[in-house]
Amino acid sequence: MTNQPPARMPLPLPTPTQENDFYWEKCKEHELWLRSCNACNEPYFYPRDMCPECHSRDTTWVQASGRGEVHAYAVVERPPTPAFAGEVPFVTALIKLEEGPILPTRIVGVEPVPDAVSIGMAGQIEFDDASETISLPVFRPN
Amino acid sequence: MTTGSDLSRVAAIIGVDESDEMGHVPHKSSMQHHAEAADNALRDAGLTLDDVDALFCAGVGTVSVAEYLGIVPKYTDTTSIGGSSFLAHVEHAMAAINAGLIDVALITHGEAGRSTRGRVGRDPTAAGSQYEAPYGMIGAPVAYAMACSRYMHMYGPERVRQGMADVSIATRKWALQNPKSFVNHPSWIGPADVGYEDYHDSRWIAWPFHIMDCCLVTDGGGACVVVSADVARNAKKKPAWILGSAEGHDHQIISQMPDLTRTIAHETGPRSMQMAGVTHDDIDLTMIYDSFTYTVLTTLESLGYCGPGEAPDFVANLRTGPGGDFPMNTSGGGLSYAHTGMYGMFLLIEATRQLRGESGDRQVEDCNLSLVHGTGGELSSTATLVLSNS
Ligand SMILES: [Zn+2]
């Protein structure tokens, strides 16, 4: 044992899989891409090989504008796990993207207090370079 | 009230009980809670483990629990859909009984939820791990809080807040009348008898939730014995007949929920009540999974007790508490009696006790028909039962 202070616990970053590595590669390039169904022509989230709406397996990828609005949010005061102990308070949100799907994310650039955010608030997705390989989409209100 | 479906009264609950010690029990494992509760519930039913021919568990598998108990079930079911699992198990047991496959089903639950807090592993490739966990959307409070924010936005933050306070305080008042409540346990910190001010002053967990909007985290277990009509007719105590049942789920992680202000109870409630041939006005006791105060509001609406956005008025003035005209969650609920992680089992225990007239100081007068409703995951799954003592 050394006297060094304990290293900060790593945040639980995603583990790309064969099904979604394209999504995370594009996030690394600071672009948001959605899986879209060729049968019903609707983009959806999260990316998966089968359309959750019509169950077709004929799907493709489309780039999203990154524009959206706050659909729901919470101001997290108690760390959900020890890894988030240094992060609280923070604002999690569900963002309704301009293209329709709901994206779970975090709101940045605002005070982490309930009144600083409102449902319907418009903004833009940007990217947080969380590690060498992972950039997380986050939401910044206009 | 009509006669209900052919499945009504095919099966009944004849035994229920908790594990020996509830609340803060750091010296016991989840499996010990399973075993104690199984033994206690079978004793309540006048049966033994040798009579059991079907085992139902959630979270931990039936293979593990059956091995520990030393039984060899001929019907086995580890349906695990969150806290509503045990209510779904009741329906599955009823179906297996109706098919003639079994006569005596044992449903067990045990969870050292308080003493093993935060030790659960996650599948790193699961959707929740990929898209929600990196942002700190981990565990129920954050997910339910976001859903509640939407509900507040739609129906007015102040009146919704008041409804949440009413649910919290009314449920606490019931818990004070239950000797097994965690708020009556020696390790409970702070005053147990609290009011609106205490609610509004209580600390934030994840806005819009105060700590008094959130269920407890406790250790404990429970079990329930479901038997065929033939076995039930010779039971030691008055059976709780299964008149109606329904189960369903419409998403897993919160960002996939089709409508944050309505659960799949809007299907399981009507299906169960239709099977039972009853309406809301027939129900004497409503038991609703109260993981959070918001869960109760959205569930009352989804079940059709009131319209969208009307639940805060429906529960106003502590109407669901002792002395109110809508008795709900008389055990003290997940909010103030016990919440091990998958609380649904404890709804069945209290409903059965009330239907037998065994609930002591908190007994609801003329309690003959109970609607029992579980919600699991992130408002993901529901199961609704209608139970009758005749
Ligand atoms: Zn499609």
The H or E element spanning position A88 is none
Q: What is the CA angle B57-B59-B61, rounded to 5?
A: 55
> What SS3 string covers chain B?
CCCCCCCCCCEEEEEEEECCCCECCCCCCHHHHHHHHHHHHHHHHCCCHHHCCEEECCCCCHHHHHHHHCCCCCEEECCCCCCCHHHHHHHHHHHHHHCCCCCEEEEEEEEECCCCCCCCCCCCCCHHHHHHHHHCCCCHHHHHHHHHHHHHHHHCHHHHHHHHHHHHHHHHHHHCCCCCCHHHCCCCCCCCCCCHHHHHHCCEEEECEEHHHECCCCEEEEEEEEEEHHHHHCCCCCCEEEEEEEEEECCCCHHHCCCCCCCCHHHHHHHHHHHHCCCHHHCCEEEECCCEHHHHHHHHHHCCCCCCCCHHHHCCCCCCCCCCCCCECCCCHHHHHCCCCCCHHHHHHHHHHHHHCCCHHHCCCCCCEEEEEEEECCCCEEEEEEEECC
Read off the pTM. Answer: 0.96
For residue B206, give the nearest of A46, A76, A82 by CB distance: A76
Taking contacts as CB-CB distances below 8 angstroms, the residues of chain A near B260 are 71-72, 94
Determine the Cα–Cα distance for residues A114 and A106; give it in Å rounded to an integer. Answer: 14
Would the CB atoms of B146 and A73 count as touching at under 8 Å? yes
pLDDT digit string, tens, across residues A65-99:
999 999 999 999 999 999 999 999 999 999 999 99
Distance A99 CA to ligand 1 centre (A): 15
- Please report, for chain B, the start and end positions of each structural domain, with discontinuous segments joined by +: 11-115+220-388
| β-bridge mates for residue A44, sequence order | A35
Per-residue model confidence (pLDDT) at position A116: 98
Mutate to test the interface with A, among B119, B130, B253 (most CBs of A within 10 A): B130
**Number of C-beta neighbours around residue A131 at 10 A:** 12
For residue B206, give the nearest of A45, A72, A78 by CB distance: A78
Ranges of residues in chain B whose predicted pLDDT is under 70 = 1-4, 117-121
Smallest CA–CA distance, residue B131 to chain A, in Å, is 7
pLDDT digit string, tens, across residues A10-53:
889 999 999 999 999 999 999 999 999 999 999 999 999 999 99
Would the CB atoms of A74 and B146 count as touching at under 8 Å? yes
For residue A77, give the nearest of B130, B139, B204 by CB distance: B204
Alpha carbon B347 to its chain's center: 4
Taking contacts as CB-CB distances below 8 angstroms, the residues of chain B near A136 are 134-135
Would the CB atoms of B122 and A84 count as touching at under 8 Å? no
Q: Is A24 helix (H, G, I), strand (E, B) or coil?
A: helix
| β-bridge mates for residue B317, sequence order | none
- The residue behind tokens 């790309």 is A16
Smallest CA–CA distance, residue A84 to chain B, in Å, is 7
Q: How far is CA B175 from CA A132, B262, B292, B322, in A?
A: 51, 27, 15, 10
DSSP state of A107: B
Instruction: State both tokens at B70.
Output: 């030393």
Would the CB atoms of B122 and A130 count as touching at under 8 Å? no
Q: How far is CA A44 from CA A47, A59, B147, B310, in A?
A: 7, 10, 20, 32
| β-bridge mates for residue B288, sequence order | B373
CATH code, residues B11-115+220-388: 3.40.47.10
Per-residue model confidence (pLDDT) at position A1: 43
Residue A2: pLDDT band by 50, 70, 90 thresholds?
very low
How many A×B Cβ pairs under 8 Å? 111
Smallest CA–CA distance, residue A6 to chain B, in Å, is 19
Amino acid at the residue A21:
D
More confident residue, B5 or A134: A134
Would the CB atoms of A14 and B254 count as touching at under 8 Å? no
Q: Is A111 helix (H, G, I), strand (E, B) or coil?
A: coil
Helix, strand, coil: what percent of chain A each, to 5? 10, 35, 55
Q: In what order do the strands lie in the sheet with B240-249?
A: B75-77, B54-56, B104-112, B219-228, B11-18, B240-249, B381-388, B369-376, B285-288
On average, the pLDDT of chain B sits at 96
Would the CB atoms of A74 and B203 count as touching at under 8 Å? no
Would the CB atoms of B255 and A80 count as touching at under 8 Å? no
Distance A47 CA to ligand 1 centre (A): 12
Per-residue model confidence (pLDDT) at position B5: 83
Q: Is pLDDT at A132 greater than 80 in this prediction?
A: yes
